């Protein structure tokens, strides 16, 4: 009996009042909590500071209504939670979004349209309505536990629809296109009216149970080929919540009296009960389900700062002093990729906390800077991450090599941290490296599947528009321009100075009009057949290949396909050219030639291509490259005159 009493006293001292037992002494903090609960309409009986079943039930109900779970122990956390809810009960959310403050968003929207378009890489962009109009499916069904059967999953096209739709919203933001905004709003209404994705099997509940019994048992097959409806449910919610997030920022105050809002909001709210409560912090699943639960609280004008504080606390505990992240940096041959994902989630958490005015511990900031530096160094040298990767947590041994970490421009998932970091820490060595490595084609500034809101684009545009950044850009522009031997500058425009070359048609062109391959930015696309004649010496070179004009209105850019036999001399240099100059103007067998541009980065890249072929010991390739570049204007004029748009 004495031992039991000692254990009980020790437990209470360490953790608070254990609610499974009665308590005979008055607790002033519990009394205050009971008074707050009573004011909020919960039936707790007399506010006497004594624990009882009514108080226990009231707390459970309160936590459930706030998309969380009462852990059965009353301590300071419960009291602080109650006080916060009381103080914020009638208070409107300060910001439209949980991810970005109204101030930052308004500053972004005030940035000149041309600057936003350039920063976020939307020159020549057109929304892909061919994909968007395929619409979200009624349901997602059929994922196996390993998720290696994606092509056979019912409704899987919804992910590409989501991606193209979110990208179009980002473009509507930066281009300030009101007509496009209306069209996108109406498309969201259509999906809501059709109750899209709602037929997906429900696997989560916002009650204590969390996961419903029918969805338990994933990986019953050791090879992961068993059907796993919980995968269907998880990915469905990711789509719905991403649309919910971006709706609140971009559409919530659009034509506020429009009846379509009621349908859209009703559709979103119909999924709220399918979302698991946030309790324990972990990486993945929307940061242990914190983000969707915080967003729901925000939508319902309820307090959510307590959740944000817990999320920040969890991040602090899961990020270590050496820069590694729990269960991520130790993932064997995928450690670098998972470490990147952890950083991505971490900086989303930090932005949510800043937006909610939650203080970030200095120790956490220091650890995150260390994590970023670890990624930077390991990206350049995989051996750097090996001390952690060799532990091979839930993974294969790395043996010094990391898999599935693509070029930075190609990273979309949780990649907004690339731009957030440059905005928050512009003088850090990794910020400068990211600024140098990332181009306007970076997916991180165009789409954000996890947050819906493209934090990458917002922070990139603001970084580029700061007085310090503008001064540095001007200085860099002058320096870069002095190194461009093939261009002359006329104000803001770079004009090619090479000998002019004429394109002469020898056979009629024929059109490339396959819908699968014809993109909105590909103008006058056709296979042309002729020769290129150099004006200075009348020498002619055969030219026959698939070409198009890039839709960027501020550039004269010809894009040619190098798979044709006549382009073999260029094709054999594609890979080494990519290594030297990057993918900006050389990808998937397409090679760009620019004769006029306002973009210093593109002019510099064209110079890089020129210098590469000049330095290579390949006379045939060098001659062909010069000739095509010199003939860019002539070929583009031919396309404009002869080939329909």
Query: Could you tell me if 33 and 47 are in contact, meaning their C-beta atoms sit under 8 angstroms apart?
Result: no
Weakest-pLDDT range from 5-9, 121-125, 134-138, 373-377:
5-9
Helix (H) or strand (E) holding 475: helix 467-482
Ranked by mean pLDDT, the top range of 75-79, 85-89, 184-188, 547-551 is 184-188
**Per-residue confidence band for 513, with pLDDT thresholds at 50, 70 and 90:** low
| 3-state SS assignment for residue 139 | coil
Weakest-pLDDT range from 22-36, 311-325, 334-348, 560-574:
22-36
What share of the chain in percent tops pLDDT 70? Answer: 92
Q: Which two tokens stand for residue 23?
A: 């308590």
**Per-residue confidence band for 476, with pLDDT thresholds at 50, 70 and 90:** low
Q: Residue 470: pLDDT above 90?
A: no
What share of the chain in percent tops pLDDT 90? Answer: 64
What's the pLDDT at 404? 86
Give alpha helix (H) positions in 356-401: 362-380, 386-389
Tokens 């909020």 locate to 40
**Per-residue confidence band for 477, with pLDDT thresholds at 50, 70 and 90:** low
Give alpha helix (H) positions in 572-617: 574-581, 600-615
| Neighbouring-strand partners of residue 561 | 590
Strand pairing class (590-597; 501-511): unpaired
Q: Residue 171: pLDDT above 90?
A: yes
Q: Residue 381: pLDDT above 70?
A: yes
Ranked by mean pLDDT, the top range of 1-10, 243-252, 470-479, 515-524 is 243-252
List C-alpha distances in Å: 338 to 382, 415, 587. Answer: 14, 12, 26
Contacts of 425 (CB under 8 A, 6+ apart): 369, 431
How far apart (Å, rounded) are the C-alpha atoms in residues 237 and 291?
Answer: 12
| 3-state SS assignment for residue 546 | strand
**Per-residue confidence band for 629, with pLDDT thresholds at 50, 70 and 90:** very high
* Closest to 72 measured CA to CA, from 204, 205, 208, 206: 208
Burial grade of 506 (CB within 10 A; 0-12, 13-18, 19 or more): exposed
User: In this structure, how many other beta carbons lie within 10 angstroms of the beta carbon of residue 146?
Assistant: 15
User: What does DSSP assign to residue 550?
Assistant: E
What's the pLDDT at 636? 95
Q: Residue 83: pLDDT above 60?
A: yes
How far apart (Å, rounded) are the C-alpha atoms in residues 496 and 499?
Answer: 9
What's the pLDDT at 22? 44
| 3-state SS assignment for residue 487 | strand
User: In this structure, how many other beta carbons lie within 10 angstroms of the beta carbon of residue 287?
Assistant: 23
Query: Could you tell me if 494 and 596 are in contact, meaning their C-beta atoms sit under 8 angstroms apart?
Result: yes
Task: Work out the mean pLDDT of the chain and round it to a whole number.
Answer: 89
Query: Could you tell me if 577 and 615 are in contact, meaning their C-beta atoms sit under 8 angstroms apart?
Result: no
Residue range 281-336, pLDDT digits in tens: 999 999 999 999 999 999 988 888 889 999 999 999 999 999 999 999 999 999 99
Neighbour-count burial for 164-195, b at 16+ CB within 10 Å, e otherwise: bbbbbbbbbbbbebeebbeebbebbbbbbeee
List C-alpha distances in Å: 116 to 174, 221, 457, 462. Answer: 5, 49, 8, 9
**DSSP-derived secondary structure for 389-406:** HTT-TTS---TT---S--
- Average pLDDT (550-566) is 88
Q: Residue 16: pLDDT above 70?
A: no
Query: Could you tell me if 25 and 48 are in contact, meaning their C-beta atoms sit under 8 angstroms apart?
Result: no
Query: Could you tell me if 321 and 304 are in contact, meaning their C-beta atoms sit under 8 angstroms apart?
Result: no
Helix (H) or strand (E) holding 357: none
| Half-sphere exposure in the Cβ direction for 216 (13 Å, CA) | 6
Query: Could you tell me if 301 and 322 are in contact, meaning their C-beta atoms sit under 8 angstroms apart?
Result: no
Sign of CA dihedral 332, 336, 339, 341: negative
At 546, phi and psi to the nearest 5? -80, 130
At 540, phi and psi to the nearest 5? -120, 145
**Per-residue confidence band for 21, with pLDDT thresholds at 50, 70 and 90:** very low
Higher pLDDT, 48 or 503: 503
Helix (H) or strand (E) holding 41: none
Residue range 57-74, pLDDT digits in tens: 888 888 877 777 888 888
| 3-state SS assignment for residue 248 | helix
Helix (H) or strand (E) holding 165: helix 158-175
Q: Residue 14: pLDDT above 60?
A: no
Q: Residue 135: pLDDT above 80?
A: yes
What's the pLDDT at 51? 86
**Per-residue confidence band for 141, with pLDDT thresholds at 50, 70 and 90:** very high
Give alpha helix (H) positions in 194-332: 229-246, 260-269, 285-288, 290-299, 305-318
| Half-sphere exposure in the Cβ direction for 420 (13 Å, CA) | 25
Q: Residue 495: pLDDT above 90?
A: yes
Helix (H) or strand (E) holding 65: helix 53-65
Query: Could you tell me if 148 and 469 are in contact, meaning their C-beta atoms sit under 8 angstroms apart?
Result: no
């Amino acid at each position: 009996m004495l031992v039991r009493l000692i254990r009980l006293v020790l437990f209470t001292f360490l953790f608070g009042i254990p609610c499974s037992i009665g308590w005979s002494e008055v607790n002033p903090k519990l009394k205050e909590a009971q008074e707050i609960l009573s004011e909020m309409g919960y039936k707790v009986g007399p506010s006497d500071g004594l624990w009882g079943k009514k108080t226990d039930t009231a707390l459970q109900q309160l936590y459930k209504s706030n998309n969380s779970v009462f852990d059965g122990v009353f301590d300071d956390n419960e009291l602080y939670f109650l006080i916060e809810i009381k103080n914020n009960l009638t208070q409107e959310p300060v910001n439209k979004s949980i991810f970005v403050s109204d101030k930052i968003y308004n500053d972004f929207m005030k940035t000149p349209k041309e600057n936003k378009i350039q920063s976020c890489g939307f020159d020549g962009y057109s929304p892909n309505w061919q994909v968007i109009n395929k619409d979200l499916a009624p349901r997602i069904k059929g994922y196996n536990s390993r998720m290696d059967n994606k092509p056979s999953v019912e409704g899987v096209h919804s992910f590409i629809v989501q991606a193209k739709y979110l990208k179009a919203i980002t473009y509507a933001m930066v281009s300030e296109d009101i007509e496009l905004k209306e069209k996108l709003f109406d498309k969201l209404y259509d999906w809501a009216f059709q109750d899209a994705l709602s037929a997906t099997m429900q696997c989560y509940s916002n009650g204590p149970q969390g996961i419903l019994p029918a969805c338990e048992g994933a990986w019953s097959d050791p090879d992961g080929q068993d059907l796993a409806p919980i995968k269907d449910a998880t990915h469905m919610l990711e789509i719905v919540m991403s649309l919910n997030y971006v709706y609140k920022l971009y559409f919530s105050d659009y034509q506020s009296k429009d009846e379509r809002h009621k349908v859209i909001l009703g559709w979103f709210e119909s999924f709220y009960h399918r979302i698991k409560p946030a309790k324990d912090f972990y990486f993945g699943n929307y940061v242990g389900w914190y983000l969707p639960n915080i967003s729901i609280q925000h939508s319902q004008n309820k307090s959510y700062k307590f959740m944000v504080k817990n999320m920040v606390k969890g991040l602090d505990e899961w990020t270590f002093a050496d820069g590694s992240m729990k269960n991520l940096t130790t993932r064997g041959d995928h450690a670098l990729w998972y470490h990147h994902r952890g950083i991505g989630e971490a900086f989303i958490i930090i932005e949510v906390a800043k937006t909610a005015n939650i203080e970030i511990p200095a120790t956490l900031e220091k650890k995150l800077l260390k994590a970023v530096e670890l990624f930077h160094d390991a990206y350049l040298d995989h051996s750097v991450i090996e001390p952690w990767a060799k532990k091979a947590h839930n993974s294969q041994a790395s043996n010094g090599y990391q898999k599935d970490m693509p070029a930075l421009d190609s990273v979309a998932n949780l990649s907004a941290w690339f731009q957030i970091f440059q905005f928050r820490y512009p003088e850090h060595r990794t910020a400068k490296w990211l600024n140098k490595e990332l181009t306007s084609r970076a997916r991180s500034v165009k789409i954000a599947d996890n947050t819906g809101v493209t934090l990458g684009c917002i922070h990139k545009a603001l970084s580029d528009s700061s007085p310090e950044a503008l001064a540095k850009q001007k200085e860099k522009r002058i320096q870069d321009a002095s190194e461009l031997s093939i261009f002359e500058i006329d104000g803001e425009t770079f004009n090619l100075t090479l000998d002019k070359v004429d394109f002469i048609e020898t056979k009629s062109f024929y059109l490339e009009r396959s819908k699968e391959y014809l993109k909105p930015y590909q103008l006058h696309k056709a296979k042309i057949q002729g020769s290129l004649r150099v004006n200075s010496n009348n020498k002619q070179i055969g030219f026959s290949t698939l070409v198009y004009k890039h839709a960027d209105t501020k550039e004269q850019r010809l894009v040619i396909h190098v798979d044709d036999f006549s382009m073999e001399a260029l094709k054999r240099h594609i890979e080494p050219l990519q290594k030297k100059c990057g993918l900006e103007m050389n990808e998937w067998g397409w090679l760009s030639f620019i004769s006029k541009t306002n973009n210093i980065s593109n002019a510099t890249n064209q110079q890089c291509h020129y210098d590469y072929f000049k330095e290579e010991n390949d006379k045939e390739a060098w001659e062909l490259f010069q000739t095509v570049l010199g003939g860019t204007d002539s070929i583009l004029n031919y396309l404009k005159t002869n080939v329909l748009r």
